[in-house]
């Protein structure tokens, strides 16, 4: 796969591929029958990623009803991810070598944690995760996560023909689309013509 050092934007074309999910069937990107929301997150057990993904889980039915398939990529090995994501209702992809991150131009940077806009979500995420860990409902992240702690999030909405409909490169650790933003973007995206002749 060719490596991309430039960000992808609306109109960019993503080449077809099949991604192996850590638990469940493989997923095609682009999907032949629906939009794909391809999310890039950080490491397995990342408290801030978990905070955001819980909002996606709560509204997963709405997302699917809008014709969107969720696919979430982490830069952790599959065996590490399984300990943290087995209960998620969507495909989770392990990319420990960060090949997809490079192809999609997703970066790591100190600003992921240093931006004052990230501090509130970081504090909420740590408090929520600490409580869940103490109650034995979650496992803590590795002390030295695979791929580091400075990853930035990114979101891509991809049409059935591989065209990027919308893209967002996060400026800090909690700078990604909300579910409401995703649903609004999906409502404006062109729909596949699935009529048979």
pLDDT one digit per residue (tens) for the chain, 197 residues:
444 556 899 999 999 999 999 988 999 999 999 999 999 998 777 777 888 888 999 999 999 999 999 999 999 999 888 887 878 899 999 999 999 999 999 987 766 666 777 767 667 767 766 766 666 766 665 566 666 667 889 999 999 999 999 999 999 878 899 999 999 999 877 666 554 44
Which of 84, 91, 74, 79 lies closest to 20, judged by CA?
91
Give a yes or no: residue 28 inside a domain. yes
Q: What is the pLDDT of residue 74?
A: 93
Q: Answer yes or no: is 192 within a domain.
A: no
Tokens matching residue 84:
């943290």
Identify whether 12 is part of a domain.
Answer: no
Distance from the first to the final alpha carbon of the chain = 34
Asked if residue 11 is part of any domain, the answer here is: no
Give the pLDDT score at 85.
81
Q: Any alpha helices (H) in the chain, and if so which ranges?
A: 47-58, 60-65, 78-85, 99-103, 111-114, 116-134, 179-188
- Give domain status of residue 89, yes or no: yes
In a domain, 70, yes or no: yes
The predicted pLDDT at position 123 comes to 72
Is this prediction's pTM over 0.85?
no
pLDDT at 172: 86
| Gap between the Cα atoms of 120 and 124, Å rounded | 6
The reported pLDDT for the residue numbered 197 is 42
Q: Flag whether 9 is in a domain.
A: no
**CATH of residue 144:** 3.40.30.10
Q: What residues make up the domain containing 110? A: 21-169
The closest of 74, 170, 159, 62 to 115, measured between CA atoms, is 170
Domain annotation covers residue 65: yes
The tally of domains found in the chain comes to 1
* pLDDT value for 2: 43
């Amino acid at each position: 796969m060719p490596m991309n050092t430039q960000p992808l934007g609306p109109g960019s074309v993503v080449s077809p591929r099949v991604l192996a999910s850590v638990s469940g069937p493989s997923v095609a990107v682009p999907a032949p029958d629906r939009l794909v929301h391809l999310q890039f997150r950080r490491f397995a057990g990342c408290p801030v990623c978990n905070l955001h993904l819980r909002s996606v889980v709560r509204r997963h039915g709405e997302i699917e009803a809008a014709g969107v398939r969720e696919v979430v990529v982490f830069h952790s090995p599959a065996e590490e991810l399984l300990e943290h994501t087995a209960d998620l209702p969507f495909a989770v992809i392990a990319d420990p070598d960060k090949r997809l991150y490079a192809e999609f131009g997703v970066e790591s940077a100190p600003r992921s944690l240093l931006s004052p806009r990230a501090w509130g979500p970081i504090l909420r995420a740590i408090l929520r995760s600490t409580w869940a860990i103490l109650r034995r409902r979650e496992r803590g992240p590795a002390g030295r996560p695979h791929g580091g702690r400075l990853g930035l999030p990114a979101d891509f909405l991809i049409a059935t023909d591989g065209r990027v409909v919308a893209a967002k490169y996060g400026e800090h650790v909690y700078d990604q689309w909300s579910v409401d933003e995703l649903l609004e973007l999906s409502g404006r995206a062109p729909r596949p013509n699935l009529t048979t002749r």
